[in-house]
Structure 1
Amino acid sequence: MGKISDFFNLHLGEDKKEKVLENVISNISFRGANLWILACAIVVASVGLNVNSTAVIIGAMLISPLMGPIVGAGFALGTYDFGLLKKSLKNLLIATMVSLLVSFIYFSLSPFKEAQSELLARTAPNIYDVLIAFFGGLVGVIAITRVEKGNPIPGVAIATALMPPLCTAGYGLAIGNISYFGGAMYLYTINCFFICISTFLIVKFLKYPSVEFLDEGKRKRITRTITLMILIMIVPSFYLAYVLLQQKKYTQQVNAFIQTELVEKGYTLIYENTQFNRRPKKIELAFLDKKFTAGEIAGLKERMAYYGIRQTELLIHQDSTDIKKDILAEITKYSENVSEKDITIQNLRNELSKYRFDNPELIQEITLLFPTLTPFSIGKQVAVSGVDSTKLETVLYYHESAKIDAKELLKLKGWLTMKLGGAEVRVLKGD
């Protein structure tokens, strides 16, 4: 029976280091087929984001070759290979620019410009994105270094989610929304950094050999340069992770405060805006019918400390004019997001309503006044009398077995015309 440590030994099942490096280097370049695959994957991901289809987005991530240069950069940092690092960063820049260009062109041409939930999810990074990128990157690199690559590779492509942020950034450029572009590029940068860091850590842990230099002076310069780059990348990344963690924690504290101290006491919240990056932080609230006294507001501010909310300004809007203004702004924002397809559907409904005969009372009256007419059918149809001459008329068809004479039919037609407000009416015998 093996040692317990063998269960956690990453050297078991490890592929030859030379073979792994060769495989990594071959996946860095974005020329020919790789570039075409990337462009097609970007279009697929953009369509998925546009129509809010998670399945399509996942498919695009599976075929994307974007992780190649990021993993290559991690290997370069771990082995002090400055040439490989330059090549990886150059190809990552090419891939990023091509992705932004393709997604920008797609969303510029797409008739549907509304921001769907899948798009909006890529505009505001949080601590979970850091964790997913880091641990997803670890899984990916461990899988790459195995003799049997196994199933993790497709899962890593989905988990690290490099494609959707780039497409969202292209969408932000296409509609001129710098906030969407900045948020999406921020998320993309986080993913790249933490995948690269996790790769670097595994390369060091598995003790991949450093590049050998004939010139000792050159070796020292390159070693110092790469060490500095590692520090520049790792220190801000962990600070970023800390800031995102603090933001998540703060949001949870604010939600707990609002829920316990206000909502659960029966106050109807109609507006909430939390500004974490402001100094001091700020919470803006408005309620439907509750008017707070100065003493109540002071009490709420004191209670905020109990929830760990400090250095935060609490502003409760009580002026009805301000509240109405905020509500109208939200309504206007919502109205602007009404999609073209919703308008098309409404137009089709309006068009169909012209041909629908929805008058059960009239049908009941016909049955009572002309009992021998049944069975019959009644509806609206377009009558064409010429190339440019059409009209809408009401037509009643009765079965040939109906026992009704010409006098009764004439009476029926006149009565229907009167009941339908003088509309064009025809009474015809069916088969």
Structure 2
Amino acid sequence: MENNSDTKKVKNSFSAWFEDLKEFMSGRFSLEEDKAQRDEVVATVEKGVVFRGVNLWVLIFATMIASLGLNVNSAAVIIGAMLISPIMGPIMGVGLSLGINDFDLLKKSLRNFTLMFIVAIVTSTVYFFISPLGDARSELLARTVPTTYDVLIALFGGLAGIVAQSRRDRTSTVIPGVAIATALIPPLCTAGYGLATGQFRYFLGAFYLFFINSVFIALATYLMVRFLKYEKKAFLDPVKERNVRRTMLLITLVTFIPSVVIGFHMVRVSLFEATADKYVSQVFEFPHTRVIECEKSYAQGKNPSRIEVVLLGEPLAEEIIENARAQLIRFGLKDTELVVRQGAATDKLDLETLQKNYADLLDEKNRRIAELQALMSRYRVVDVGVDGISQELGVLMPSVGTIALTKGIRFDMKGRSRDTLLLCLVTPRDAETAIDAETLRQWLRVRTKIADVKLYIETPADEE
């Protein structure tokens, strides 16, 4: 009996401790504190949905800034564009409208989302079409290949965004942080770059990333709205309510089911690539042979997964390569094809070849740099040492008060440079003093070694 009494005491004590812990954790993670009213949150999100006036102009300016940042490869400029972009409004509006059965808000959100997409794509396409910088830099290329991490960032960023919007105090840094993390405007600009340059694989990759981010932000908004138990909109007409519910269910399925399939596929690709990297690093570890390149491609249709490695150094025997293929099963890569490229008569790749290729590449870069330097020297205004000339002229011709010199290029009407000339503007020391223009012109030709000298003399009264 005493043992049963002790057991009951322990159970009661544990139960009381568990209830205290549950109450403590519930209080810590509760979202009821500082919670805004449902109608207030809906009004705030609905205000950010509409692209008209200020919002539309800010979107255009943000798109231009992001395009410039991608063009000059500046992460700071791209972050600035993401901070000022109002692009998240319609996306959160879609998620909120699905969560509260607001069909009118859903239509408005989708309409403005389409307008936002078109305006941003057109703006970025026009910019990259007229931009003189046409190379794809690293910041731009990073927006063409979505990864699993992009999905997770969009999901958790959307959750953080709707939680911040559901508070009475919206002055926190959450919304700007979400705008930076989810990165919606750079993929749109990259898609514009793909259209402007005719590289449609860039357009498709960037649009894919934008679609993934948009869908998962909307999904996160929908989930949080349901978690907060916002009241759903009621309809007076039962038939209309049934039709609206069916339409919204169809839109939800069409929007979210592909995103789940895509996300699952991306997870499988990421796991395959991580496993392949682990396999290559452990199996192809030899003292005199190095892996200099490894390409991984996940299975598509009838094509199996494939790992292709390029080796440098001492060639591996065929039995060693077969042993490496046999170890694919041990790493969970059962149906993966292994292709090994190494030094051979038909596929020669050695250190001497690499050094020659690097030397040729370096020579080409040096040649290009020399051409650019020569081109710049043709067009830039050159310093002619006016400070030294003015001191010498002060001794030779005391009648000169001030002098201005600049070296320029004379162009014809087709934009071709013809010759170099020196422009000189002098002012007499006073109105009564005369300047020997011909002597001064001859002296400047000798002093600057420029034959074509254009000399202009102004009176002290003309100086303003």
- Calculate the TM-score normalised by the size of structure 1: 0.75
What corresponds to 2:436 in structure 1?
Answer: none
* Deviation, structure 1 residue 206: 1.2
Equivalent residue of 1:273, what SS? strand
User: Deviation string for 1:95-137 (max 9, x for gaps)?
Assistant: 1111111111111111111111111111111111011000000
Structure 1 residue aligned with 2:232, among 192, 210, 230?
210
* Deviation, structure 1 residue 348: 6.8
CA distance in 2, matches of 1:308, 1:349: 57
What corresponds to 1:121 in structure 2?
Answer: 142
What corresponds to 2:251 in structure 1?
Answer: 229
Equivalent residue of 1:201, what SS? helix
Amino acid at match of 1:155: G
1:89-128 correspondence runs (5 A) = 89-128=110-149
CA distance in 2, matches of 1:214, 1:293: 79
User: Deviation string for 1:266-304 (max 9, x for gaps)?
Assistant: 312344322114320111222234433332222111112
CA distance in 2, matches of 1:217, 1:118: 51
What corresponds to 2:213 in structure 1?
Answer: 191
Structure 1 window deviating more from structure 2 (302-311 vs 30-39): it is 302-311
Amino acid at match of 2:321: I
* Deviation, structure 1 residue 246: 1.6
Q: Compared with structure 1, are the counterparts of its residues 176 and 342 closer, same or farther at alpha carbon in structure 2 (3 Å cutoff)? A: farther
Is residue 168–residue 180 contact of structure 1 (8 Å, CA) maintained in 2? yes
CA distance in 2, matches of 1:134, 1:254: 27
Which structure 2 segments of 5+ residues have no match?
1-19, 383-406, 408-417, 422-464
What corresponds to 2:331 in structure 1?
Answer: 307
Pair 1:298-2:315 in alignment: no
Q: Compared with structure 1, are the counterparts of its residues 312 and 138 closer, same or farther at alpha carbon in structure 2 (3 Å cutoff)? A: same
What corresponds to 2:268 in structure 1?
Answer: 246
1:17-416 correspondence runs (5 A) = 17-149=38-170, 150-278=172-300, 279-318=303-342, 319-322=344-347, 346-347=373-374
Is residue 67–residue 127 contact of structure 2 (8 Å, CA) maintained in 1? yes
Percent of aligned pairs sharing the same letter: 40
Equivalent residue of 1:288, what SS? strand
Q: Compared with structure 1, are the counterparts of its residues 95 and 389 closer, same or farther at alpha carbon in structure 2 (3 Å cutoff)? A: closer
* Deviation, structure 1 residue 251: 1.1
What corresponds to 1:378 in structure 2?
Answer: none
Amino acid at match of 2:274: Q
Amino acid at match of 1:70: I
Equivalent residue of 2:104, what SS? helix
Q: Compared with structure 1, are the counterparts of its residues 344 and 88 closer, same or farther at alpha carbon in structure 2 (3 Å cutoff)? A: farther
CA distance in 2, matches of 1:299, 1:280: 20
User: Deviation string for 1:238-276 (max 9, x for gaps)?
Assistant: 222222112111111111222222245431234432211
Q: Compared with structure 1, are the counterparts of its residues 343 and 81 closer, same or farther at alpha carbon in structure 2 (3 Å cutoff)? A: farther
1:3-14 correspondence runs (5 A) = 3-14=24-35
CA distance in 1, matches of 2:346, 2:284: 22
Residue correspondences, number = 354
* Deviation, structure 1 residue 156: 0.8
CA distance in 2, matches of 1:273, 1:162: 29
CA distance in 2, matches of 1:165, 1:218: 38
Q: Compared with structure 1, are the counterparts of its residues 297 and 350 closer, same or farther at alpha carbon in structure 2 (3 Å cutoff)? A: farther
CA distance in 2, matches of 1:221, 1:116: 49
What corresponds to 1:422 in structure 2?
Answer: none
Is residue 112–residue 339 contact of structure 1 (8 Å, CA) maintained in 2? no
Structure 1 window deviating more from structure 2 (54-63 vs 237-246): it is 237-246
Is residue 154–residue 216 contact of structure 2 (8 Å, CA) maintained in 1? yes
Is residue 288–residue 313 contact of structure 2 (8 Å, CA) maintained in 1? no
Q: Compared with structure 1, are the counterparts of its residues 264 and 41 closer, same or farther at alpha carbon in structure 2 (3 Å cutoff)? A: farther
Which structure 1 segments of 5+ residues have no match?
356-381, 391-431
Is residue 317–residue 323 contact of structure 1 (8 Å, CA) maintained in 2? no
Is residue 289–residue 315 contact of structure 2 (8 Å, CA) maintained in 1? no
Structure 1 window deviating more from structure 2 (99-108 vs 229-238): it is 229-238
